Amino acid sequence: MGEVKLRRQPHTGPFSTGLSLLPLLLVSFFLFAMPIVMLVWGAFRNASPGQAANWSFGAFTRAYSTAETWVDFRNSIVLSLSVTIIAVVIGVILAFLVARTTTPLRAIVTPMMGAVVVLPPLFYGISWGMLGQKDVGLLNTTFRSIFHLHSFVLFNANSWAGLIVVSALKGVAFSYILLIGPFGSMDRSLEEASQISGASRLTTLFRVDLMVLAPAIIGATILSIVVGFEFFDVPLILGTPARIKVFSTRIYDMIDQQTPADYGGAGALSMLLVVIVIILVLVQWRILGKRSFTTVTGKTHRTDPWNIGKWRYAGTALIVVYVLLAVILPMFQLLLGSLQSFFGSKGPLSFINYHRLFANADAVQALLNTLLTAVIGGFIAMVVAVLVTYAVARSQSGWRKALDLMGWLPFAVPGIILALAIAWEYISIPGLKNLYGTVWIVMLALVVTAAPMAMRAVQPAIGQLARDLEESARVSGASGMRMMGTVVLPLIAPSFLSGWFLVAILLSGNLTIPILLSTPTSQTVPLLVYNLYTQGQVTQASALFVIELLLLGIGLVLARVIAAVTTRVMKRRSVQQQAKLMAIDTADSQNTEPVAKTAIVQSS
Amino acid sequence: MKPVTINGLEKRYSDGTFAVRGIDLTIGEGEFVTLLGPSGCGKTTTLRCLAGLEAPTAGSISFGDQVVVDPAHNIFVPPEKRDISMVFQNYALWPHMTVFANVAYPLKMAKVRKSEIKERVAASLALVNLRERAQQPASQLSGGQQQRVALARAMVGRPSLIFFDEPLSNLDAKLRHTMQEQIRAAHESLGSTTVYVTHDQQEALALSDRIVVMDQGKILQIGTSEELYRQPNSHFVADFLGYQNIMDATVVGVDADSYTVQLNDSDLKITLQGKTGKKAGDSVTVAFRSAHLRFDTMPDEQFTPIDGLITHATYRGRDLLLLLEAQGKTLRATLDEDEMVRVDRSQLTAGSTITLKLLADRVVALPDPDPDDDTAITYESEDM
């Protein structure tokens, strides 16, 4: 601070000084940065984790001199770019239809996209693997029976086309969710000014709307490319039978599909992907700032939708086709598969698969593990996210930037690499080795993957928390901790709870972490589903997945209910408490309307 | 009820810019002092340093005989230990609490007994006429009501110091007036030492025992409302306190109890009442309010008659603003309703000439800027 060096900076709030930030910095470093450090360290050693080794470039020369590496690298680029093009084009069209036009059925798009984003990629891999199975897949058999064709294959999921189309289904939802905010909040007066200046509606669309929204579209494109490089579940399930490998599945193969596992080589390959992703993320942040990564909409602006005439039925058709492909068909196939005695069976449907699953100790254990890791892991992720986000928002220390960066780091590291990095960290550090192979390491790794998502969930609430609400608590005599407990936490509680459920739902569908870190006793539902599926027990895999989706659905409903109830209860409780204290009749307070969550933001 | 002593207060940001550069101020027990200045003048930073919400980089602050902050000696008392309260510009009521809970909060923090909390909150809410709103969520009240709750919350703990950070700037004019009265009444009933921050000179004049005018992180003038209103000490203070006519001039004649100056670049001569240390030929800056250019004067009042051509006349309801062209100078005059009715309105339009009387005892000669003060700030005079 200039000339005056204070030995101890006076603190005006929790986390305001470098020293008070230290515990959080250490925890964040251990969780988020340490695995990457260990991964890099491990890539320069010539032995597996936990074994004595010398420094060596062997892993790099070994991994990068293989021709196969570059084929897989090219495959990753092809997959990422083609999915991005499809996803962004359809995403833009759908966002435009919803935000600006009178297209019938537009109201269902946003909630549906939310569901598609939450559905695990494993769901798409497996359901489409079944739908597009070339002999008995529902899509092909139906098409054949309608047109009375024999052995005609309409769509083979285990192919390049399958890989791209299925990956794009989820990609569309991802880019739509990123775009709908900016599209919806675009200032209508810009359009009006253009039209008054003599431009037609279509000219306005291209010369004003798309130009104004260009940063958002570019941002969504870059993020979509990033996500494309991180694809794992779908290429693993659909690409492996077709002998198409991408970079992430190759990294996995080097550890799980070869003996001895080549940890060093996998680490060396990972670094290329991490560097590419970090560069892309930095470019995206430069273009848009980190804010747009969150999907918060701007000011709500009353706008007249545009009547696009007959085109709106084309819009509706697009929506219908998308819903069919992304939700209805895969759900139906999964449900159908779970009721068949064997995949493609034309025999009577039964619940035999479900009976078998509940008699199977592994399946029950996997369900318990999933529940445990998702719920507790989600909670820990949210607590860390709240502390980090709050500290970054309020600290005056220069270290807050380091904290911010560490928190977002897992976003730049593809899941399979994160799992690899965490394996390095926990095997190499002596005291932590005991965790390896337990369900706890899976949970810790899931916490790390969930951190950026969790931070995104609490960031709006913390960002909107007016600072003077905290300051007025301090001048009223509350210490920093007291202020956190009485003002900050109650105000962010609704976001915390809904974020917790969202994170738990996402974690419960995660395959990349357990596929590397689980042992048979610590496996989770997604891993067991994958194992059953690849072992040919397709119908059992379907049944297990249906149970998982059912749990997710219950979780989703619970999240809504709890978020609504907490807002209400908090309001009512404080009202009633005071009423008792005031000894004035309580009848009034029962009528008090619960104030909407948005009322939190009153100032600035 | 504690005096406040500020010594050499400085707040410098890490990029080297100053928010506050060397403030010395003593505030007496139970005094109502207002920090007045434009935005960015350092008044809010000074207040936040007093409250402990920000830490100064140099200087010290004491409440009574307790030093609350002194970076040189590594002393910093956190806000909750300073026995203070504060009313914020945006009310800062906690939206998840009722009105009652908001007001009760400082007492709960002070571990006051429940029965006493109940009484004191009720009494405090009664003072701002919001007793019947106690059970409502704070966020359901209107802006004016919210600020009254904030005032009740600030008073309920009977702190020895109360701070106000532009508390009325979000309220409409009418509400502002009633709130001013409530704030002054609260100050008097509690006897707390009060520090009030505002950019509104009318508010400052109406509320304060003393006013501290600040600009660019420094204090320009300290005085009572009347002292500041009648005798600003600089171009900036005069301008900020509503002197619409500020002009450079040269002394041309000195009498026993009055002297005459001639405005630069003009033949216009003005008589000022009082003594001056200056002699003929010295330069001087004179300032007067538009309202002191009168159509009529009281008998025995000394004045300078000024003939002018009206270039603009703007009717503003309570008065009429005239822009006068008088011997090469543009002057601003306002005629109040009483004066307006005494003049033929057709004479009060652009293009007509009029003779007005400038009250000699209301023209102020501004002291010369201190030539030793190298941080002295120069202002460009406005054309209009």
Strand-strand pairing, B258-263 and B245-254:
antiparallel
Q: From B93, B150, B146, B153, select the one nearest B123 (Cα to Cα).
A: B153
Residue B311 is predicted with a pLDDT of 92
- Partner-chain contact A12 B84, CB within 8 Å: no
The pLDDT value given to residue A310: 82
Structure confidence by residue, pLDDT tens digits, A52-89: 777 878 788 888 888 888 999 999 999 999 999 999 99
How crowded is residue A348: how many other Cβ atoms within 10 Å of its Cβ? 8
B115 touches chain A (CB under 8 A): no
- From A2, A6, A472, residue closest to B92, measured CB to CB: A472
Per-residue pLDDT of chain B (384 residues; tens, 9 = 90+): 689 999 999 999 878 889 999 999 999 999 999 999 999 899 999 999 999 888 899 999 999 999 999 999 988 888 888 999 999 988 888 888 899 999 999 999 889 999 999 999 999 999 888 989 999 888 888 888 999 999 999 999 999 999 999 999 888 888 888 899 999 998 998 899 999 999 999 999 999 999 999 999 999 999 999 999 999 999 999 999 989 999 999 999 888 888 899 998 888 888 888 888 888 888 899 999 998 888 877 777 788 888 899 999 888 888 889 999 988 889 999 988 888 888 877 888 888 898 888 888 889 988 876 554 444 444 443 333
Q: Are the beta carbons of A71 and A153 closer than 8 angstroms?
A: no
pLDDT at B60: 94
- Whether the CB of B106 is below 8 Å from some CB of chain A: the reply is yes
Q: Does B16 touch chain A (CB under 8 A)?
A: yes
A292 pLDDT more than 50: no
**CA–CA separation, A11 and A17 (whole Å):** 6
Q: Of A177, A264, A160, A168, which is closest to residue A220 (Cα–Cα)?
A: A177
The Cα of B364 is separated from the nearest Cα of chain A by a number of Å equal to 41
Q: Is B304 helix (H, G, I), strand (E, B) or coil?
A: strand
- CATH fold of B243-366, please? OB fold (Dihydrolipoamide Acetyltransferase, E2P) (2.40.50)
Question: Exposed, middle or buried, A536 (CB in 10 Å: 0-12/13-18/19+)?
Answer: exposed
Residue among A11, A476, A570 whose CB faces B96 most closely: A570
Q: Mind telling me how many Å the CA of A4 is from chain B's nearest CA? A: 6
Return the H-helix or E-strand segment holding A479: none
Partners of A604 on chain B (C-beta within 8 Å) are: 90
Q: Confidence band (pLDDT; 50, 70, 90) for A18? A: low
- Where do the domains of chain A lie? 11-45+351-568, 70-243+270-340
Burial A455-467 (b: 16+ CB within 10 A, else e): bbbbbbbbebbbb
Interface A:B, Cβ pairs < 8 A: 153
Q: Reply yes or no on whether the pLDDT at A322 is more than 90.
A: yes
Q: Which residue has the higher pLDDT, A429 or B36?
A: B36
Which residue in A477, A490, A491 is closest to B110 by CB distance? A477
Report helix, strand or coil for A265. helix
Q: What ipTM describes this predicted complex?
A: 0.78
Q: Do A600 and B95 count as a contact with CB atoms less than 8 A apart?
A: yes
Given B90, B101, B153, which is nearest A604 (Cβ)?
B90
**Chain B residues with CB inside 8 Å of A578's CB?**
98, 100-101, 104, 134-135
What's the pLDDT at A202?
78
pLDDT at residue A1 is higher than 50: no
* A583 with B12: Cβ contact below 8 A: no
User: Would the pLDDT of A582 be above 50?
Assistant: no
B101–chain A nearest CA distance, Å: 7
> What is the pLDDT averaged over residues A247-273?
86
Q: Is the pLDDT of residue A596 over 50?
A: no
Instruction: Go through chain A and tell me how many residues it has.
Output: 604
| Number of neighbouring beta carbons within 10 Å of residue A221 | 21
Chain B residues 126-165 with a CB less than 8 Å from chain A: 134-137, 139-140, 150, 153, 157, 163
Q: pLDDT tens, A443-501?
A: 999 999 999 889 888 888 888 888 888 889 998 988 888 888 899 888 888 888 888 88
pLDDT at B193: 94
Q: Tell me if B137 and A575 make a contact (CB, 8 A cut-off).
A: yes
Among residues 82-101 of chain B, which lie with CB inside 8 Å of chain A? Answer: 82, 84-86, 88-98, 100-101
Are the beta carbons of A476 and B106 separated by less than 8 Å? yes
- What secondary structure does DSSP assign to A130-167, as a single string? HHT-TTT-HHHHHHHHHHT-SS--S--SSSHHHHHHHH
Q: What distance in Å separates the CA atoms of residue A283 and residue A288, rounded to the nearest whole number?
A: 9
Among chain B residues, CA nearest to A2: B14
- Mean pLDDT calculated for residue range A105-115: 89
Is A569 a residue whose pLDDT tops 70? no
Q: Which of chain A's residues have a Cβ under 8 Å away from the Cβ of B117?
A: 581
- Residues in Cβ contact with A275 at an 8 Å cutoff, skipping those fewer than 6 apart: none
CA dist A299 → A25, A110, A212, A303 (Å):
35, 18, 16, 12
Predicted local distance difference test score (pLDDT) of residue B20:
93
Closest CA to B214 of B51, B1, B31, B11: B11
Is residue B213 within 8 Å of residue B49, measured between CB atoms? no
| Minimum distance, in Å, between the CA of residue A70 and any CA atom of chain B | 48
Contacts of B71 in chain A (CB under 8 A): 4, 6, 10
Q: Could you tell me what percent of chain A has a pLDDT over 70?
A: 88
Task: Give residues 334 to 373 of B whose Cβ lies within 8 Å of A.
Answer: none
Selected residue of A472, A495, A600 to mutate for chain B interface (largest B Cβ count, 10 A): A472
Pairwise CB contact (< 8 Å): B92 & A469 = yes
| From B13, B85, B90, residue closest to A476, measured CB to CB | B85
- Return the minimum-mean-pLDDT range out of A202-206, A234-238, A599-603, B62-66: A599-603
pLDDT for the residue A591: 34
Confidence at residue B370, expressed as pLDDT on a 0 to 100 scale: 55
Phi, psi (rounded to 5 degrees) for B123:
-65, -40
- Closest residue in chain A to residue B13, using alpha carbons only: A1
Class of domain A11-45+351-568: mainly alpha
Stated as kind and residue range, the H or E segment containing A411 is helix A400-412
Residue B98's nearest CA partner among B61, B65, B63, B130 is B130
pLDDT above 50 (res A535) = yes
Task: To the nearest 10°, report the CA torsion of A117, A220, A407, A435.
Answer: 40
Q: From A604, which residue of chain B is nearest by alpha-carbon distance? A: B90
Kindly indicate whether the domain formed by B4-235 is annotated with CATH number 2.30.110.10: no
Report pLDDT for A157.
87
> Whole-number mean pLDDT of chain A?
82
C-alpha–C-alpha distance, residues A132 and A330, integer Å:
10
Question: Do residues A102 and A312 touch, judged by C-beta distance below 8 A?
Answer: yes
Question: Rounded to 5 degrees, what are φ and ψ at B9?
Answer: -65, 130
Residue A20 pLDDT? 75
Give the tens place of pLDDT for each residue, A388-423: 998 888 887 778 888 888 888 888 788 888 898 888
Q: How far is B179 from chain A (nearest CA, A)?
A: 19
The verdict on a CB contact (< 8 Å) between A578 and B85 is: no
CA distances to A6, A8, A19 from A16, in Å: 14, 12, 9
Q: How confident is the model at residue A10 (pLDDT cuts 50, 70, 90)?
A: low
Structure-block tokens of residue B3: 């005096």
Query: Which residues on B lie below 8 Å from A585 (Cβ)?
Result: none
Name the 3-class secondary structure at A596: coil
Specify the pLDDT at position B222.
95
Cα A116 to Cα A326: distance, rounded to the nearest angstrom: 7
Indicate the SS3 state at residue A20: helix
Residues β-bridged to residue B198: B36
Amino acid letter, residue B365: A
Show which of residues 39-78 on chain B sit within 8 Å of chain A, judged by CB atoms. 51-55, 57-58, 69, 71-72, 74, 76, 78
Query: Residue A11: its chain B contacts at CB < 8 A?
Result: 76, 78
Question: What type of residue is A236?
Answer: L
pLDDT band with cut points at 50, 70 and 90 for residue A331: very high
* Residue B335 β-bridge partners: B320
Indicate yes or no: CB of B71 within 8 angstroms of CB of A6.
yes
A11-45+351-568 and A70-243+270-340: identical CATH topology: yes
pLDDT band at residue A100, thresholds of 50, 70 and 90?
Answer: confident
Could you tell me the pLDDT band of residue A42, with boundaries at 50, 70 and 90? confident
Interface touch B101/A574, C-beta < 8 Å? yes
Q: What is the pLDDT of residue A140?
A: 87
CATH code for the part of the protein at A70-243+270-340: 1.10.3720.10
Backbone angles phi, psi at A156, to 5 degrees: -105, 115
Tell me the Cα Rg of chain A. Answer: 26
CB atoms within 10 A of CB A161: 14
Q: For chain B, what are the domain ranges?
A: 4-235, 243-366
Question: Quick check: A482 and B109 CB within 8 A?
Answer: yes
> B68: nearest CA in chain A?
A10
Find the farthest-apart pair of alpha carbons in chain B and give their distance in angstroms, rounded.
75
Alpha carbon A70 to its chain centroid, in Å, reads: 28
Q: Kindly determine whether residue A10 and residue B76, on different chains, have CB atoms separated by under 8 Å.
A: yes
The more confidently predicted of residues A62 and A367 is A367
A300 — phi, psi (to 5°)?
-85, 130
Nearest-angstrom CA–CA distance, A551 and A508:
10
Alpha carbon of B32: minimum distance to chain A alpha carbons (Å): 19
Q: Name chain A contacts of B153, Cβ cutoff 8 Å.
A: 472, 476
Q: Do B109 and A491 touch (CB under 8 A)?
A: no
Lowest mean pLDDT among A318-327, A391-400, A438-447: A391-400
**B321 touching A (Cβ < 8 Å):** no
